[in-house]
Amino acid sequence: MAEPNPETHVIAFRAAEQLLDARDPRGAIKLLDTVIAAHPESRSARLLRARAYFASAQLRAAEREFQHIVDREPDNAFAHFALARTFQRAGRPEQATRHFRLAAALDPKPEYLEKAGFDTAE
């Protein structure tokens, strides 16, 4: 069987985005597994797969993927925020708070500040 060309992986990634938007996270995961097998360090594919795991309530897998991104991009506020939400949903509030605060420190978006418990009133 011939190896898929890089365009095939781009198409699979875009299709996975559409599946996730259409609330089919498991379908997205299947497509992303092939993309990540070919490109294991693709942070965009890993981030999308982490979101799909989260959306399908596969919290351990989501945690593993978000942590993979945070380990390689410690300044990625969204990855910290998403990891915090994963910990929160898994009933691990101390770990969630740590990552909510890191996300807010990296990017003071109102949503991040609120979840971190920081007072946004001047």
Find the mean pLDDT for residues 77-101.
97
Confidence class for position 7, pLDDT limits 50, 70, 90: confident
Find the mean pLDDT for residues 76-89.
98
Confidence class for position 3, pLDDT limits 50, 70, 90: low
For CA atoms 51, 103, 100, 98, give the dihedral sign. Answer: positive
Average pLDDT for the chain: 93
User: Comparing C-alpha atoms, which of 55, 80, 59 is closest to residue 68?
Assistant: 80
Reply yes or no on whether the pLDDT at 65 is more than 90. Answer: yes
Q: Tell me the pTM.
A: 0.90
Contact 59, 34 (CB under 8 A): no
Give per-residue burial for 70-93: e unless 16+ CB within 10 Å, then b.
Answer: beeeeebbbbbbbbbbbbbeeeee
